[in-house]
Amino acid sequence: MKLSKNFRDAYNKTTRSIIHSSCPEDGESVRKVMGRAVGGSFDAIGYLEKMLLQQHGLHEETDLIDVGCGAGRLLSQLNHGDVASYLGIDISAELLDYSRQFLRGPDWNLKLVSGCEIPADDQSGDMVCMFSVITHLLHQESYRYFQEAARVLRPGGRLIVSFLEFRHPGLWPIFEDSVDVVLGGERLDMFVDRTGLRLWAKHSGLKVVTLLDGEKPHIIIDREIVFENGTRVTDKARLGPIGQSVIIMQKE
């Protein structure tokens, strides 16, 4: 699919540009640069992703697959005992190279992909997460990923996906700002409605467990977090400043 390839190439080009725009020497600065490459607030959002997954079934015996793992925002927050195994996949070799420092054991792996495949055996995972992934895919690609997730999940396993939706007025400026960027082929920003998500789930053999509203705090946290824009949260948080919603599905 030519259009899809164009956007993938643009994603890799943008990622490289951000990474190589500066060459910081200290680890903290490198972390900030890599954070910008995946949307910012590296530590805060990685922590929220981990807390969200734990509140919906992640535990020490979970085989976790992280689709679109990027620079390791979630991976950097995981420790020994949080999961049994971890597989992170992404289309950016540069981001995966940075992520490798966060691998904790022999059953923690990273793999480079070029399409909508999940390089894992049938029924080999307990949980698949896709944070800020289908927000940059064509709907057909997202559906293919749902099918792939259903294939690799064991019965009862869960797929957790963040997404952008038009029902939140606060997200309209983000859509408007994306028009020229998308039409210029620089990046694909995609909104999806809940009806479409339910259909993708149904036709992939997945049952919708719940939908979490992106404009309402729903993640219980155990420490204060600070986003790069200065926002502080101490009790219950949204997934991030952009307010992505979350759908949680289970393989039947």
Is pLDDT at 144 greater than 70 in this prediction?
A: yes
Q: Which of 243, 220, 240, 244 is nearest to 229 (CA)?
A: 240
CA distance 35 to 72: 9
State which H helix or E strand residue 129 sits in.
strand 125-130
- pLDDT given for residue 29 in this prediction: 66
Torsion sign over Cα 59, 241, 169, 146: negative
Confidence of residue 118 (pLDDT cuts 50, 70, 90): very high
The predicted model gives 154-176 an average pLDDT of: 95
- pLDDT given for residue 8 in this prediction: 74
Is pLDDT at 87 greater than 50 in this prediction?
A: yes
Residue predicted with more confidence, 114 or 119: 119
Burial tier of 15 (Cβ tally within 10 Å: 0-12, 13-18, 19+)? buried
- pLDDT given for residue 1 in this prediction: 43
Confirm if 188 and 136 have CB atoms less than 8 A apart.
yes
Q: Which of 56, 58, 48 is nearest to 85 (CA)?
A: 58
- pLDDT given for residue 22 in this prediction: 54
Please give the domain boundaries of the chain with CATH numbers for all domains: 2-251 (3.40.50.150)
Confidence of residue 3 (pLDDT cuts 50, 70, 90): very low
11-15, 30-34, 196-200: lowest mean pLDDT where?
A: 30-34
* pLDDT tens, residue by residue, 229-242: 899 999 999 999 88
pLDDT averaged over every residue in the chain: 90
C-alpha distances in Å from residue 220, one per residue of 52, 175, 225, 237: 8, 28, 12, 7
Is pLDDT at 39 greater than 60 in this prediction?
A: yes
Tokens coding 55: 């509140």
- pLDDT given for residue 34 in this prediction: 63
Tokens coding 216: 């309402």
Q: Which of 233, 239, 236, 191 is nearest to 213 (CA)?
A: 239
- pLDDT given for residue 35 in this prediction: 60
Percent of the chain with pLDDT over 70: 88
CA distance 27 to 102: 13
Per-residue burial over 193-208, b = 16 or more CB atoms within 10 Å of its CB, e = otherwise: eeeebbebbeebbbeb
What φ, ψ does residue 88 adopt, rounded to 5°?
-110, 135
The conformation of residue 131, written as its DSSP 8-state character, comes to S
- pLDDT given for residue 40 in this prediction: 74
Confidence of residue 108 (pLDDT cuts 50, 70, 90): very high
Confirm if 88 and 72 have CB atoms less than 8 A apart.
yes
The predicted model gives 35-40 an average pLDDT of: 63
Residue predicted with more confidence, 4 or 205: 205
17-31, 32-46, 72-86, 216-230: lowest mean pLDDT where?
A: 17-31
